[in-house]
Amino acid sequence: MRREEKSNPKTSPPPPAMPSPPPQPLPISEHADEIVAAVEANTVVVVIGETGSGKSTQLSQILHRCGYSRRGAIAVTQPRRVAAVSVSRRVAQELGVPLGDEVGYAIRFEDRTSERTCIKYLTDGVLLRESLSDPELKQYSVIILDEAHERSLNTDILLGLMKRLIKDRASDLKVLITSATLDGLKVSNFFSGCPVLNIPGTLFPVEKFYSTERPTNYIESSLKTAIDIHVKEPSGDVLIFMTGMDDIDKMVSKLKERIQNLEEGSCMDALVLPLHGSLPPEQQVRVFAPAPPNCRRFIVATNVAETSLTVDGVVFVIDCGYVKQRQYNPSSGMYSLDVVQISRVQADQRAGRAGRTRPGKCYRLYPISTYQKEFLEATVPEIQRSSLAGSVLYLKSLDLPDINILKFDFLDPPSRESLEDALRQLYLINAIDENGQITDIGRIMAELPLEPSLSRTLIEANELGCLSQALTIAAVLSAEITFRPTRSKDMEGKRKRQELPDGSGWGDHIQLLQIFESWDQTGYDPRWCSDHELQVRGMKFSKDVRNQLSQIIQKIAKGPTDVQAKKRQKSDPDYRKLRRALCVGYGNQLAERMLHHNGYHTVGYRAQLVQVHPSSVLEGDEYGKLPVYVVYHELISTTRPFMRNVCAVDQSWVKPILKKIERLDINKLSGGSSSSKNSEPLEEKQASSPKKVMDVTQSDVD
């Protein structure tokens, strides 16, 4: 899917940009000849180099200069959207070309590339999606899987796919896998002993200071350390690692206030900047601009600054030792968003940020014994802590010969339990049949850039004649930027919220739809959003995503689609069709109200007690009046297990799902290779998880 405004030869060309090469040669550039020789001689090459050595920005340019992009584009995958955008912008700048021309990026719902693009930065998820329509990825001559050490779910799947792809395209495809910390030998073994190039870095020594004990309040402790540095230390920027947006916002405002009221004084000015994945682009740019003269910058960041984005000028690092991590438990189907201890690899990466330009200092807000004895050696790969329904559907849709999902060649296999959980989920929403074969519905679902429940909802909604409404819901729930009213407690905030539609008693999906439709009726007036405490950026992005989804579904759906009519259909005042479509789409995420207890229990092979999340429009309704059956978008464990975004559904729609649950046979679903049958054992051991430290309620991991 490409955006309409994509390079149009008729519009006036943007002003020529001046090349702006990096100020000093980066380690990668100094080893360019060696890298090119290795790539010439091998199909797969692993490149290990310190963060900031130039892997993301220079490798693609080196290969471009050697003519590799003449045979096809050079793809560079990034696990994070923010990195794909930021690094491509930087490379375009270094080459002096407008972004979107020779150098571009593609992330979900945003494509800034053109026919001329020969260096393309894209998220690993987008490359997976591209391989659906072009299984051999013929448009690329080189594929660089960057930041492989992040071990994102999609990069891990790409590693397995590349292994297959190079067999077919050994003569005209080059694959590079780059990493700051990855065990090169392990990847090399995975790729039949491919060469590993270790690029020596230029890290200066970093002195580490440990706390004697864990602080009770790490924000306060970081704040104090930051002020100490500002008052006592010579020039040099400070990078402060926090766990998420909430903490960053708090830290930024408190730090600004303390610096302003500083009694001791500092001979330098100060600039405090946030850095996280949801930052608007104009604010991201500020982080990469050099500090003004005689000014110390404080960059308050999530783990996005650990390896994905390199900020120059950092000499001091404050490391709270925590990270916010989403973990999925396949036995309960529940996500938890926990603040957990980082791994030793992460701690070392964080410290390394202080030694890029001169000797630096790292303040670890934890004792050395915590680092040595409590931190895990390395971060648990995402594949071992995510729901795999989307990935399994994707792999099934590839129709790879000889593939049994339970035996797919993973660098680190997920647990059998997670794979079986994914198969059960897909079966309940008709994406696979009882023998585990992908269905026609499943194939269409795989083409939609949505999680399975939402893609299934769209297909059902198209059948039932309420696609337009379902598109809005799918767009809003997958836009990744929320427009939800903030829960400010003052009277004014409450009043504004009360003016918003309330979902008519049918729940959150319907409320989101009604809010969007009310905005639509104002002609998309941004003032209406701010008047109702809605985030304009999130609303606009949802609208954009909706447009793109409607174009995609028109292309792939069989039969007519009705994406136009945005107004609520008068013939269906109770949203019956839409709620029915949601019930089918979320057939694997169903809950029934308990008769004698205050709450619901989930329905299916893993029944458990859950509550409606406090952010829901249904929360606070009299218990007896709550719907008997609901479907939920997500099960999340914070203080208790909660269903987030719920929708009331009818008992009659639930019956066929219950029947399917009864018939479910995991042996058949897994192609006869389930644990209870005689089969080769898959990795049964679950990866050890980092210790959970506290509950969080916001889904603001970057």
Q: What is the closest distance, in whole angstroms, from the C-beta atom of residue 382 to ligand ADP in the complex?
A: 19
Q: Would you say 192 or 198 has its CB closer to ligand ADP?
A: 198
Q: What is the closest distance, in whole angstroms, from the C-beta atom of residue 355 to ligand ADP in the complex?
A: 13
317 with 241: CB under 8 angstroms?
yes
Q: What is the closest distance, in whole angstroms, from the C-beta atom of residue 657 to ligand ADP in the complex?
A: 47
Q: Would you say 26 or 148 has its CB closer to ligand ADP?
A: 26
Angstrom distances, CA of residue 340 to CA of 60, 242, 244, 333: 35, 12, 12, 20
Q: To the nearest 10°, report the CA torsion of 683, 685, 687, 693.
A: 160
Question: Both ends of the chain: CA-CA distance in Å?
Answer: 24
Mark 290-319 with x for binding to ligand ADP (rule: CB under 6 A) and - for no binding.
Answer: --------------------x-x-------
Q: What is the closest distance, in whole angstroms, from the C-beta atom of residue 22 to ligand ADP in the complex?
A: 6
Task: Name residues whose C-beta falls within 8 Å of residue 617's C-beta, 6 or more positions apart in sequence.
Answer: 502, 503, 507, 508, 511
Q: Would you say 49 or 125 has its CB closer to ligand ADP?
A: 49
Q: Would you say 66 or 666 has its CB closer to ligand ADP?
A: 66
Q: Would you say 304 or 477 has its CB closer to ligand ADP?
A: 304
Q: Would you say 26 or 166 has its CB closer to ligand ADP?
A: 26
Window 35 to 94, contacts with ligand ADP (CB under 6 A): 49, 51-58, 86-87, 89-90
Q: Which 3 state secondary structure label does DSSP give 406?
A: helix
Q: What is the closest distance, in whole angstroms, from the C-beta atom of residue 49 to ligand ADP in the complex?
A: 5
State residue 344 phi and psi, 5-degree precision.
Answer: -65, -35
What one-character DSSP code corresponds to residue 115?
T
Residue 447 corresponds to which tokens in the numbers above?
């083409």
Q: What is the closest distance, in whole angstroms, from the C-beta atom of residue 28 to ligand ADP in the complex?
A: 7
Q: Which 3 state secondary structure label does DSSP give 243?
A: coil
Q: What is the closest distance, in whole angstroms, from the C-beta atom of residue 152 to ligand ADP in the complex?
A: 15
Binding-site size, ligand ADP (CB under 6 A): 18
Q: What is the closest distance, in whole angstroms, from the C-beta atom of residue 200 to ligand ADP in the complex?
A: 13
Q: What is the closest distance, in whole angstroms, from the C-beta atom of residue 388 to ligand ADP in the complex?
A: 28
State residue 137 phi and psi, 5-degree precision.
Answer: 50, 50
The CA angle 205-209-213, to the nearest 5 degrees, is 155
Q: Which 3 state secondary structure label does DSSP give 335?
A: strand
Q: Would you say 86 or 222 has its CB closer to ligand ADP?
A: 86
What one-character DSSP code corresponds to residue 370?
I
Residue 24 corresponds to which tokens in the numbers above?
């000093």
Q: Per rule CB under 6 A, is residue 288 in the interface with ligand ADP? A: yes
What one-character DSSP code corresponds to residue 507?
B
Q: Per rule CB under 6 A, is residue 457 in the interface with ligand ADP? A: no
In 572-628 the beta strands, taken as DSSP E runs, fall at 590-593, 600-603, 609-612
Q: Would you say 86 or 425 has its CB closer to ligand ADP?
A: 86
486 with 249: CB under 8 angstroms?
no
552 with 448: CB under 8 angstroms?
yes
Q: Per rule CB under 6 A, is residue 511 in the interface with ligand ADP? A: no
Amino acid found at 665: D
Q: What is the closest distance, in whole angstroms, from the C-beta atom of residue 591 to ligand ADP in the complex?
A: 44
Q: Would you say 28 or 365 has its CB closer to ligand ADP?
A: 28
State residue 37 phi and psi, 5-degree precision.
Answer: -60, -40
693 with 243: CB under 8 angstroms?
no
Mark 582-601 with x for binding to ligand ADP (rule: CB under 6 A) and - for no binding.
Answer: --------------------
Q: Would you say 124 or 460 has its CB closer to ligand ADP?
A: 124
Rounded Cα gap, residues 6 and 120, in angstroms = 14
Q: Which 3 state secondary structure label does DSSP give 673?
A: coil
Q: What is the closest distance, in whole angstroms, from the C-beta atom of residue 84 to ligand ADP in the complex?
A: 11
Q: Would you say 228 or 312 has its CB closer to ligand ADP?
A: 312
Q: Where does this chain bind ligand ADP (CB under 6 A)?
A: 22, 26, 49, 51-58, 86-87, 89-90, 288, 310, 312
